[in-house]
Structure formats: C-alpha cells, structure tokens
Structure 1
Amino acid sequence: MLTAPGATVTLTIRGTPPATQYLESAAVLLPTSDAAQAGALLDALTGQDLAAPLAAFLKRPEVQAGLADGLSVAADPYTLSLKTAGAGLSLTVSLQTLSGFGPVPASRILGDPAAPYAIRMYSDFQCPYCQQAELEAIPTVVKNLPKDVRFEFHQFPLESLHPNARAAAEASVCAENQGQFFAFKDALFRRNDWQKAVNPSAIFQAVAQGVGVNTVTYRGCIADRAGKAEVDAGLAEASRLGLNSTPSVYIGNYRLSNPYDPASYQALLDFVRAK
C-alpha cells in the first residue's frame, strides 16, 4: 500500500519476488473529490497524460449525477472506475482485458501455432498507422519472437475509411492460399503506390508475382473472390469483439498501448508471462 497526501493508493501487483513485478491495477481513495489530485495520481500510475481529460470528464453534469452509483470509462488501454465515497472519491484504474478471440489458420501465424502466448494484430492494409507499426516495430518483434509466443495476423479492413482495404485483404488471402501470406503482406506494406489507385488490382498482382505466387492460380482466386469469406470472418470477429480501430494489438487478453515500439511488445509480454 502507498500513500499520497490525503489519499490512499492500493496496488495490485502481478509477479512474485525476486522475479520482475508488474502493476495490474490500482485503487485510489481521495478524502475529497479533488479532480486535480486524482488526475496527478492517475498520470503517475499510468505514465500517460490523463489528468486534464479526467478533470474535464468529472465536471460534466451527467458524470456528477452518476458518481454516487459509480461509473466506468475506457481510457485505452485502461478502464477507469469512479465513485463518490462520502465526501471523497474512489478511483480504480486497471488494464483493459478482452477474451473470445477467434482462431486464424496456421498460414497467418508466425512461430509455433500451439505456443501458449499470442500476439494478435488486427490490421488493415490501407491503414497508415498499421503501415507504421509494420515498418517500425513488427520486423523486430518477429525477429525476436520467443519459442513460447506466436504472432497472429487478423484481417480487419476498415472499408468505410479505406476503399482499397478489402481488395488488398482479399488479395492477401489469395497469396496465403499459396503459402505466401507474410511475404505478400510485408511487400505490400512497403509500398505507397496503391492506396489511392482507382483500381489497384494490377499492383496487387505484381506484388504477388514478386513473392513467388503462381499468377494463373492467383488470377482465378481473385476472379472467384475466393478470399471474401475469410475477410468477412475477420470483420465479423472484430465486430463481435467490439474493435473499432487499427492496428489493434493484443498480447494475451491485454491491449497493447503502443504498437509502434518493439519495447512495448516485450514489456506487455513480460507482464502477461508473470505468475
């Protein structure tokens, strides 16, 4: 238990000494409804700039009305629970968890498909943030993938935002059917010449051919839209899980807050592994 001026902070730790320990959640009890103090403690606990948003949130009339019964709000990757406690304020911050992930075929898994820990990336080929993660973090993450961890790619094209995303996803399935998903994915994310094309199919075919895909078989797959069902299944899974942005990366049941930094993957993986 830690104390701050006028406040009590109780930490829930994962891990057992002398091994590395990780903060899983924290409960804060303030003697008054001091939004500034609550925000300062929240920043210290999470390492994020949440003080100003929390203060603005607590000033809203509907929030003030709901504090007596308690309410929760998402502040990715955390969940904040707030409730008045007499004249004071109770605040709990915990890492968001998610369960019910769907399986992906071994052709979209790097590492041992039976590995006990999973890094799951829900991605959109036309999403610039996905491209950033793919170029800045994923090569290092994959290169250093431990034997007990698998990397999964989940199809999540945001069609309303990215008009070529579905076509790219279906093309990747046609490459996947010939065992070249990851080669196609990596090559496509390295290119910027197709995102605004009216019809990027010729570029997709060139990328597929460049990674060794049989062109005749690939063309038949595209013509038959043989990848549609797989992409539809990915979209259905993302909808069922309540995902609404890309890249959405989960390690175990926990969402990764910074998918652009390889060190963030390792830190969360260490957290998930802690017993």
Structure 2
Amino acid sequence: MTTDSRSASSPTSAITCHSLTKKYRGVAVVNDVSFEVAPGSVTGFVGANGAGKTTTMRMLLGLITPTAGDALIMGQPYRELVRPRRTVGAVIDGPGAHPRHSARTHLRILATAMGVSHQRVTEVLDRVDLTAYARGRVGGFSLGMKQRLALASALLGDPDVLLLDEPVNGLDPRGILWMRDLLNELAGEGRAVLVSSHLLSELDQIAERVVIIDHGVIKADATVEELAEGRSLEDVYFELAGSLADTSTRTTPRGAAR
C-alpha cells in the first residue's frame, strides 16, 4: 500500500492500548486490553454488542477515564495532544448535528471551532459525496447520509488517526462499497484507521489486521491472512468468541458504554 509523506514522520504506532482496563462497580467491561494500530493501515475491531469496543474507543478519545493502563494517540493521551481534533477524527455517536441545521452549516460551525477554513468544508462534503445535499437539513437525512456527515466531521481537521465505530451502519450495498474504497484511500494516504464493525465479511475485504474482543478480553490480534488460513473471518470469529447471541445478551453494568 502506498503512503504519503505523513507516515514518514509518524511513530510506529499511531494508536496504542496497553493493559487497558475499565471497571464499573467492580466489573471489568474492558480487561487488560493491549493492541496497536500502525500508520497507513486499516485495523478491524470486532466484537458483539457489549464486548467492549466502544468503551475502548471512548477511552482512546479521553471520554472515559481508564481504571488502569494506557490509551494513547500518537504516543500521548488524547487530552495531552496539542491539536486533538486535528490529530484524530472520530465517528462514535453519529454527527451530533442540530436537525434544523444544514450539512454545510453544521460543518462550518465545527470548522470555525477547530480553526479550519470553510474551504475544507467544501472539500470534505465532496469527499463523502454529500455536496448535492449540503443545503439539506440534517433532520431529513437518512441514517446512511448521517453516517456520511459524521465521517465528513471526522475528516475536517485532516487527521492522522481515525476512530470509526460502525461506520457502515445504515449504508446500502452501494454505500458499503463506497466506504470500503474510501477507507482504503485514507489508509493509503498514511492515516491509521481503526474500524469497529459487526459486518465481518466486509472487514475481511477492508482490514489488513483484525483485533477480536469478547467480554472485554482480546481473543485475537493478527493479520487477516494469519487469522483466516483459508477460512472466512466469520468462522474464525465464532471459533474464538462464540456465537453473536451469546455475547450480545450478556449484561453490561448500568452506565457502561458498549
């Protein structure tokens, strides 16, 4: 994969989780999690609802304080980054836009707060194929369009790191194919991309590396080729983490993230 100059000066690991643990009422929802994501790569973060994916991402973004361990972006905690929103872009809970605002207005507000030119708004709208809907009110957007707007928000600061929680949720098959191509392009530009998803067959085609988490514990961390060995990623997942029904129905302590 070809990378641009941004990767030349980047650390070996753009995202680092080291012995990361989060407990609620004494129950560990993330337990001693360690993995890394290198610049210029797409890493899939796989697990059922309640497995600990979103909690881990929230700790990386400084939204949740770890009980123990380290969650680092470019070698530093998120809160210590000089320009955090221009270093890491995230899609965690959708675009967070006012339903009466247009897509362009929403992005302009974010750009002003970040110190980014409004020309960048035009660029990211084009990159996520929302230019034709730039004046449309967000409240009238489909779920897929909101996902595109959330991604545009994440790309505003031209970040080196992207954390994307279920980015293909709500996209139709054409949209999923578009997302696949875009994520590969972003990694090809030297960015580190961490993508959580339930669509294992899709991650099989996007990710170079896969981290499988189950009940807050890392079950596997390897390249797709190393994991699969001729099998599908779904087969590997069920072998390591059990059925989706088993992991989806476990009880997550109240107040805990996914």
User: What TM-score comes out, normalization by structure 1 length?
Assistant: 0.24
Which structure's relative contact order is higher, taking Cα pairs within 8 Å and 6+ residues apart?
2
User: What TM-score comes out, normalization by structure 2 length?
Assistant: 0.25
